[in-house]
Structure formats: structure tokens, C-alpha cells
Amino acid sequence: MFALAPPRRGVVYLPQLEEKLRAVESEELRVKSDADECVKRAKAALEVPPDVMVSLTQFTTAPQPLYRWRDKLADLIEEAK
């Protein structure tokens, strides 16, 4: 008669470790996609709108377009905190 060997300790915990690894990987993917979205929004916000400045010699003297752009940047900074 053959006696069954007791299960190795690592084998018992393997399913829990695999589940934890999947959870961590999915969280990393979510964080990465959030970061990618944040970078895209930041790059888009840093482009100077044409109603503020077209070139170094063509720019607005009205404060409203500049304030709108500034407020948009400020909102993104606050969201990032």
C-alpha cells in the first residue's frame, strides 16, 4: 500500500497567490490607463488655444480667453492632486 504524501505548503497557497497576482495586475492596468488618460488631457491642455495666441506676434489683449485657459489648467492641476 502506498501512503499519500501530505500536500506541499506552496501548492496549497498557489490558487490564492494566482488570484492575488491577477488582482494586482488588473489594478496596475487600471492605474496605467488612468495615467495615460491624464497625460493625454495634460498635453491637450498645454496647447495654447488660438483665441489666446496664434503666434509670438499675434495674441489677444482680452483677458477672458486667457482666464478660460488658465482656469482649465488649474482644474487639471487640482484633479491631479
For residue 2, pLDDT over 50 is answered with: no
d(C-alpha 23, C-alpha 21), whole Å? 5
Range(s) of the domain holding residue 63: 14-80
- pLDDT for 17 equals 67
pLDDT in tens, 49-67: 899 889 889 988 999 999 9
Give the count of beta carbons closer than 10 Å to the beta carbon of residue 79: 10
The answer to whether residue 2 is domain-embedded is no
The answer to whether residue 8 is domain-embedded is no
Total domains in the chain come to: 1
d(C-alpha 78, C-alpha 13), whole Å? 43
**Is 0.85 surpassed by the pTM of this model?**
no
pLDDT in tens, 4-37: 555 555 455 566 667 777 777 777 777 777 778 8
The answer to whether residue 42 is domain-embedded is yes
The letter for the amino acid at 50 is: P
